[in-house]
Amino acid sequence: MAVTKIWKVKDRLDVTINYAVNGEKTEEKLYVSGINCMPDTAYQEMINIKKQFFKTDGIQCFHAVQSFVKGEITPEQAHEIGMKLAEELWGDKFQVIVTTHLNTDNLHNHFILNSVSFLDGKKFCNTKKDYAIMRKTSDRLCEEYGLSVLSQEEKYNKYATNSLYKELMKDSIDYAIENAKDYNEFIKILQDLDYIVTDKNYTLSIRRNPYKRNTRIERQFGNKYSKENIYKRILETQTLFPYSSNSMILITRTYENYNKQKEKHYQNKGSIAYLIYQYEKLFGINTESTLKSNMTRITPELIAEIKKMDEYSNQARFLAKNDIKTEQELLDFEKSAYERVNPLKSQRENLWKKHKRAKTDEEKQVMENEIIEISKRITPITEEIKHCNNIKQRMEKIKQYQLHEQIEQEKEQFEKEQEKNKKDKNKAR
């Protein structure tokens, strides 16, 4: 069975998308897909549609969730059902991001639906009829996959919806803690995710419309979510960029390490590593100037630049470690990675099916332990696949740029020849 929920988001489309596609929740974005848009560029694509129809204000998107019963479904099945649901409901008119989160006991899908249609510019309204269709479609898909389906009264009663609401609330709080650089930004992220925050003395409460009652998060989720422990957890997530007098030393070292990686892995001009290195120059990525201009304080922009450097360094290490020098070698490696990961995913899916049929908690626990171990083997392979995809995307941009440069050069040469012919004709007269 699956419980569904949908609500409007008035602010910060980018924060909502980032929350949904979070790599730690989606197994390094393995379960992230786009309908009528690309996941990596979804924010800008959605904004472009809003600008095209002059509808940039008001509701920015709709955030929907489809949550499944623990142990009844595999991540692959959940994502497949989510894609079918989104295609059927919105695929003919709207851009949608579909993600599957694996970080809670109940696997659940997130849907980020652009409020403006790319087809006719009309806004999605989310009427009671729309939601009823969503529930019925979700039920039908669950039946098709052999999942249990409860009656409407059982399934959409107050307990079911409140349970999903609290689960998503906890998920949102964890996301805000992981992505905030300080307590004030933690509050801001929750507000951007459409929560109303009440911060009084030693208590912190939040709620989201249409719910009227505040939830005291420490009382609801335990001491780990006290204000004091939230402060501590935010600091713990910032270990790479501590707020101290030594901050700039760490940043300088990061930049030095980045340069060493470039020198070590980008020397061979005929290699794929050298090609992707050109990406920085061709597309104006100047990490050195960004660092120098931000040496006085740590900003979100600076952290983003350093993360970008780390990503490029990791890609360089990946290419060197696996001795990948050409595009064909990259494609071959990607193919072998899929060949390694697919049997593991099938094995995990079969374990989930056995888990569903298990009769005792002991049997289920054994299978859950096996699933965890298999997931640990899957994660590094999916990381390799992610590197392959990112490198291919950068290479494609470089190829497009080079083609554009070639066309411009040919155009310039043609214009010079035309000008020369014109001058020669004038002289002949």
Per-residue model confidence as pLDDT tens for the chain (429 residues): 688 889 889 888 988 998 898 867 766 677 899 999 988 889 999 999 999 999 999 999 999 999 888 778 888 999 999 999 999 999 999 999 999 998 777 889 999 999 999 999 999 988 989 988 998 999 899 988 888 765 554 544 555 567 778 888 988 898 888 888 888 889 998 998 889 999 987 889 999 887 888 999 999 999 899 988 898 888 766 544 433 334 444 444 444 554 555 555 555 555 555 555 555 555 454 544 444 444 444 444 555 566 667 777 788 888 888 988 888 999 999 999 999 999 998 888 888 888 878 888 888 888 888 888 888 888 889 889 988 988 887 777 777 777 777 787 888 888 888 888 888 777 776
pTM: 0.54
Task: Single out the residue of 228, 6, 28 nearest to residue 130, CA to CA.
Answer: 6
Task: Single out the residue of 159, 165, 189 nearest to residue 177, CA to CA.
Answer: 189
**Which H helix or E strand runs over 218?**
helix 217-221
Count CB atoms within 10 A of the CB of residue 13: 21
Q: What tokens does 63 get?
A: 């955030």
Q: What tokens does 271 get?
A: 């290699």
Round to whole Å and give the CA distance between 151 and 155.
Answer: 6
- Residue 399, helix vs strand vs coil: helix
> Would you put residue 334 in left (φ > 0), alpha (ψ -120 to 50) or beta?
alpha
Task: Give burial (CB, 10 Å; 0-12/13-18/19+) of 62.
Answer: buried
